[in-house]
Structure 1
Amino acid sequence: MSSCSTCSVCSPPLTTSLAQTSSMLDAAAEQMMVDKDFQAAFETCERGLEILASMDQEDNRCREFKAGFCILGIQAQAELNQWHGVLSWVLQQYEHLEKIPAKIMQM
């Protein structure tokens, strides 16, 4: 079996989950930018983050998807004027302040 370049464990369900996650990230971006449906974008981000959490993977691609969902989720919350909940929501995803990537903290 060839090695998998996307995550540390190579299995069809993981590859399928990553493909699904990628599609969900694209869908959330489209909901934000094209449809201007900020609530739907936020909900898509939450579903994508749930899928990533169930995969329990900490490789670079998975971390990038997680950051992407968080960035879009923050933007959606901002558009919905829900800034008060942003930090607590991000902390739910990363558990500790020091684990939050700099690009998210800069937002």
Structure 2
Amino acid sequence: AGYAAVTAIRRRVPVRQVFNAHTSLLLMLYLLATAALGVFWVARQQLPVFALLEAGVIGERLMLSVVARGLGGCPVGAFYDDEAGQLIDSKRKQLWVLHLAAIGQVAP
């Protein structure tokens, strides 16, 4: 997809948060459900909980790293799953977006 198409999708991903369309980088953590379920078959019932916890920890660490480098970051609190999947060109229902964050230079 071209830049305009990706920007249009990025505007629709977060729920009522327009800042996202013009960020330098959109951080997206996602999980390929079928692969993870195959690896963690013992903890299949707990996998969604563990995946969300890990995504939160990774997102927090990346936000701290971004700020340490003089940039800014803003986690996206709510987003539309289908539109977020379009950003990674996901046609599969097994791919779950777990965490989004907009990253870029801080406005003066």
TM over 0.5: no
- Normalising by structure 2, report the TM-score: 0.31
- Normalising by structure 1, report the TM-score: 0.32
> Hey, which of these two has a bigger chunk of strand by percent?
2
Structure with greater Cα Rg: 2
Higher relative contact order (CA 8 A, sep 6+): 2
